[in-house]
Amino acid sequence: MVVESFDAQYLHDTPGHIGRGGALGRKAPGIALHDPVYREEAIIGYVSRVRWDRTKESLEIEFDPSTKAGRISVGDAVWVHLK
């Protein structure tokens, strides 16, 4: 789920979004930079930062929106392929 959106965090940065999810278990999620982020079946962005908290069994992903993403709102359900 998208929990945060920002315009730019530092000079020359671009807009981005942060999504968080839990209940992943302790298995490594297998997410890498530049992996696609989906809303339903459409690619809406690409992973630019990943943080996995094994103790909380949660994953935080920052992603840059694709040019064809349309409107991305806090609360949108998004997903990535877990390997």
Q: List the domain boundaries for the chain.
A: 2-65
Model pLDDT, residue 26: 75
- The dihedral of CA 22, 72, 35, 62: what is its sign? negative
The encoded tokens of residue 67 equal 């040019």
Whole-prediction pTM: 0.84
pLDDT of residue 62: 92
Mean pLDDT by 10 residues, the chain (83 residues): 82 80 80 94 94 88 88 92 87
Which pLDDT score is estimated for 12?
A: 65
Please say whether the beta carbons of 35 and 80 come within 8 A. Answer: yes
According to the model, what pLDDT value does residue 47 have?
95
Predicted pLDDT of residue 11 = 65
